[in-house]
Amino acid sequence: MKKNLSLIVSLILLSALLLVGCQKEDGKTGETDKDIVTLDLWNNIAAGRTYFPILIEEFEKNNSGIKIKLNNVNVESSEAEYQAAISDNNLPDMFTTDAYTINEFVELGLVHELNDLFPEKVREEYTDGVFDVGNTMVGDDVYLFPIYKGGTYMMFYNKEVYEELGIETVPKTWEEVMTVGKEIYEKSGGASHGLLFGGQSGWLVNGVVQLMATEASPEAGYDYANGEYNFATVGHVETMEFFKNLLDNNALSPLSLENDSTVARELFTSGKAAFLLDGNWTGQLLHESEFENWGVVPLPTKDANGKQYGEFRLGSNDGMYVSKETKNWNEVKIFMEFLRENIYGEILKDGEPLIAKDSAAIKVELPFEEVNDIADIFLNMSIRVPNPIVLNPHTQEVRTEFLKNAPDESIGSVTMGYLTGQVKDLKGTLQKYTDDYNAEFTKAIDGNEHVTKEDYKFPNWVPYQSYTEENYKELNR
């Protein structure tokens, strides 16, 4: 009523300002109930907009003394919001973000340890590697409440296109992607293409090319044995040339060049392409948009028996932090204990299989059958790799320092530059990128008295194999 009134009266100049005052006080009176503790929760996980309200409602029903105030942060602007909030110690009690890494948060003393919530016995329910240092832990303490266990990329295919054009093979190798892609283009008279991906989403191209490059060059990206970065491997070059080849032969949709992953997915469901390269969350989103006629396979390999891998790594955005400044640690703990028991089932029910706990142990009804395929593809692809921070925590300082100064290039941007014809000398560009990157890396190491090059070398690393605590011990550092 007051709001309607204010709309009319606000045309009268100064009275509008007075009304703002009234309105603001209205908002305040609701909160001054003394027995109720209100916890702030900032969420920037898209799917969380669905499951957090459900969980909060259930929690508040059983805990009448605690209220959770959910604030969904816009993904596009979250960096600015967190910068401002951090700059004067105004972080909410609990928050999810990808703006900063766990190490930065801990270094600045902004987040609360969560050891009480994750005793040894509880940790056993989680997937191996979730509680590795650098994932949810720094040193001996847990700081990130794990919700997911990272992610990976895969290839979705549109069964409608398949049926319509009478095509049988779902491609596993690069060669098959090419043949099937050409076939689709010809049979559809140019209306559909084979492959599609959201090329404007830099992180997507980056991730996909990196994964595909590890087949020919397991040292692609970071060479764990020598402790150096390498973006100019045969694997990288071949992968980029493969995409270029697809594009030149109409097996890759030109729509890939100008759209991001959100648009690409819609174009895929409308039949503009038969295959879509995208992340694990795509399954749930396809299901949500009521498109059910799809299947999923791993990224294509060059050889039929080829193997790719990605690092098993949780990012900041795979979990939730608690602010060190929280005044209601006990209430936060009660809520988190509740989440620990209930959040994973809720997410799985939604169709997202990559929860931090072992999904097999959670009995819920899956919304669609491909959930298990996605989980399998992830587990086959993601392995634990050496992390220098485990043996020398100071390497974190080096990392922060050199990431700041590293060249603002990426595999993804070079790939797109090559596809659009901007990058002519592919090998040269990648080599320069690698050299610049390593130069900054070396400079940062030299600038830190606690770190040497040796901290980054893991001679006992075997490609495609999980690197465990035993392997760290073998090194004898």
Q: Which positions lie near another protein, rule CB under 8 A?
A: 3, 6-7, 10, 13-14, 16-17, 19-20, 23-24, 27, 40, 46, 71-72, 74-77, 79-88, 90, 92, 100, 104, 108, 110, 200, 202-203, 254-255, 257-259, 261-263, 266-267, 269-270, 272, 279, 281-282, 285, 289, 400, 403-406, 408, 413, 416-417, 420, 422-423
The answer to whether 271 touches 253, Cβ cutoff 8 Å, is no
Bridge partners for 141 per DSSP = 138
Q: Which is nearer to another protein, 113 or 401 (CB)?
A: 401
Q: Which is nearer to another protein, 14 or 360 (CB)?
A: 14
- How many angstroms separate the Cα of 411 from the Cα of each of 152, 205, 231, 391? 16, 8, 7, 28
H/E stretch holding 320 reads strand 319-322
Q: Between the CA atoms of 401, 404, 405 and 410, what dihedral angle is there, to the nearest 10 degrees?
A: 130
At its nearest, how many Å lie between another protein and the CB of residue 90? Answer: 7
At its nearest, how many Å lie between another protein and the CB of residue 257? Answer: 5
The answer to whether 412 touches 198, Cβ cutoff 8 Å, is no
H/E stretch holding 247 reads helix 234-248
Q: Which is nearer to another protein, 20 or 364 (CB)?
A: 20
Q: Between the CA atoms of 197, 43, 340 and 120, what dihedral angle is there, to the nearest 10 degrees?
A: 80
At its nearest, how many Å lie between another protein and the CB of residue 210? Answer: 13
The answer to whether 405 touches 109, Cβ cutoff 8 Å, is no
Q: Which is nearer to another protein, 272 or 357 (CB)?
A: 272
Q: Which is nearer to another protein, 16 or 366 (CB)?
A: 16
Amino acid at 45: I
At its nearest, how many Å lie between another protein and the CB of residue 464? Answer: 26
At its nearest, how many Å lie between another protein and the CB of residue 261? Answer: 7
Task: Say if strands 94-95 and 37-43 run parallel, antiparallel, or are unpaired.
Answer: parallel
What does the alpha-carbon distance between residue 44 and residue 48 come to, in Å, rounded to a whole number?
7
What does the alpha-carbon distance between residue 231 and residue 222 come to, in Å, rounded to a whole number?
8
At its nearest, how many Å lie between another protein and the CB of residue 460? Answer: 30
At its nearest, how many Å lie between another protein and the CB of residue 308? Answer: 21
Q: 108 — phi, psi (to 5°)?
A: -85, 0
The tokens for 26 are: 């209205």
Task: Say if strands 66-72 and 37-43 run parallel, antiparallel, or are unpaired.
Answer: parallel
Q: Which is nearer to another protein, 450 or 477 (CB)?
A: 450
The answer to whether 305 touches 185, Cβ cutoff 8 Å, is no
The answer to whether 402 touches 222, Cβ cutoff 8 Å, is no
Q: Which is nearer to another protein, 40 or 60 (CB)?
A: 40
Task: Label residues 320-332 b or e (16+ Cβ within 10 Å = b).
Answer: bbbbbebeeeebb
Q: Which is nearer to another protein, 9 or 462 (CB)?
A: 9
Q: Between the CA atoms of 56, 61, 67 and 68, what dihedral angle is there, to the nearest 10 degrees?
A: 0
Q: Which is nearer to another protein, 346 or 440 (CB)?
A: 440
CB atoms under 10 Å from CB of 246, counted, come to 22
At its nearest, how many Å lie between another protein and the CB of residue 267? Answer: 6
Q: Which is nearer to another protein, 131 or 158 (CB)?
A: 158
Phi-psi sector, 273: left (phi>0), alpha (psi -120 to 50), beta: beta
Q: Which is nearer to another protein, 127 or 261 (CB)?
A: 261
At its nearest, how many Å lie between another protein and the CB of residue 404? Answer: 5
Alpha helices (H) along 277-350: 282-288, 329-350
At its nearest, how many Å lie between another protein and the CB of residue 372? Answer: 21
At its nearest, how many Å lie between another protein and the CB of residue 291? Answer: 9
For 347, how many CA atoms within 13 A lie in the half-sphere containing its CB? 26
At its nearest, how many Å lie between another protein and the CB of residue 250? Answer: 11
At its nearest, how many Å lie between another protein and the CB of residue 51? Answer: 15
Bridge partners for 95 per DSSP = 42, 321
Q: Which is nearer to another protein, 74 or 305 (CB)?
A: 74
Q: Which is nearer to another protein, 110 or 336 (CB)?
A: 110
Amino acid at 402: F
The residues, ordered by sequence, that sit 6+ positions from 363 with a Cβ below 8 Å of its Cβ are none
